[in-house]
Chains A and B, each alone.
Chain A
Amino acid sequence: SAVISQKPSRDICQRGTSLTIQCQVDSQVTMMFWYRQQPGQSLTLIATANQGSEATYESGFVIDKFPISRPNLTFSTLTVSNMSPEDSSIYLCSVGGGRGNTEAFFGQGTRLTVV
């Protein structure tokens, strides 16, 4: 199993500012996933963060808007840049869940409100 500590749990931010979300895992993992969950919607994958290489972004998400760092095998950050009210969502980090043989583990989520 894996325990993920995500912070902050919630924040209210002014438009035009940036917020960095941190995730710390209690074990070393190759890939970490960052998701966005807009109000009333399901989870959408933003990007996959690999240690030692650039993150892989999904269609519709770009590095300038959502820069990701992955300095080691237990830690990652996601920054939401130049925020607008449309960025108000829950952001979650996750490990595992792929390749047919691993359970998925999630952080506690960051509930972001942009005003």
Chain B
Amino acid sequence: KNEVEQSPQNLTAQEGEFITINCSYSVGISALHWLQQHPGGGIVSLFMLSSGKKKHGRLIATINIQEKHSSLHITASHPRDSAVYICAVDQGAQKLVFGQGTRLTINP
């Protein structure tokens, strides 16, 4: 079993829908990262959080440390949100452990 599990692996939705991507992990962490990877391959950091909730525009990330679970929400989804979303955990060491990614497609 992977240390970081994301669900769903693939998600297709219509423009405007509310999107939720989940991340569960089995190890103790110092922080959790949500990343966005576009088809060209480049990766952008969306959030780094260690407790509670963060919001940036239409994106919201939450984390429950006790339950070892985090969610990424996208409100009013748009085709430009189509990308792979990756959850990664920081165990306090120098490297991250990555989930398998969730491929999100938003249709107009």
A and B contact pairs by CB, cutoff 8 A, 27 listed: A9-B40, A9-B41, A33-B95, A41-B100, A42-B86, A42-B99, A43-B86, A43-B98, A90-B41, A92-B42, A94-B43, A97-B33, A97-B90, A98-B92, A98-B93, A98-B94, A99-B30, A99-B90, A100-B30, A100-B92, A106-B44, A107-B42, A108-B41, A109-B40, A109-B42, A109-B43, A111-B40
Query: Given A92, A104, A111, which contacts B33 in the complex, CB threshold below 8 Å?
Result: A104
Interface size range on B against A: 20 to 34
Contact A48 B94 (CB under 8 A): yes
Residue numbers in B under 8 Å from A102 (CB-CB): 48
> Which residues 83-108 of B have a CB within 8 angstroms of A?
86, 88, 90, 92-96, 98-101
Q: Which residues of A are interface residues toward B (Cβ below 8 A)? A: 9, 31, 33, 37, 41-43, 45, 48, 90, 92, 94, 97-111
> Which residues 45-98 of B have a CB within 8 angstroms of A?
45, 48, 50, 86, 88, 90, 92-96, 98
Assembly CA distance A107 to B41 (angstroms): 9
Residue numbers in B under 8 Å from A9 (CB-CB): 40-41
Beta-carbon nearest neighbor of A92 in chain B: B43
Query: Given A90, A101, A111, which contacts B31 in the complex, CB threshold below 8 Å?
Result: A101
Is the C-beta of B13 less than 8 angstroms from some C-beta in chain A? no
Assembly CA distance A39 to B86 (angstroms): 15
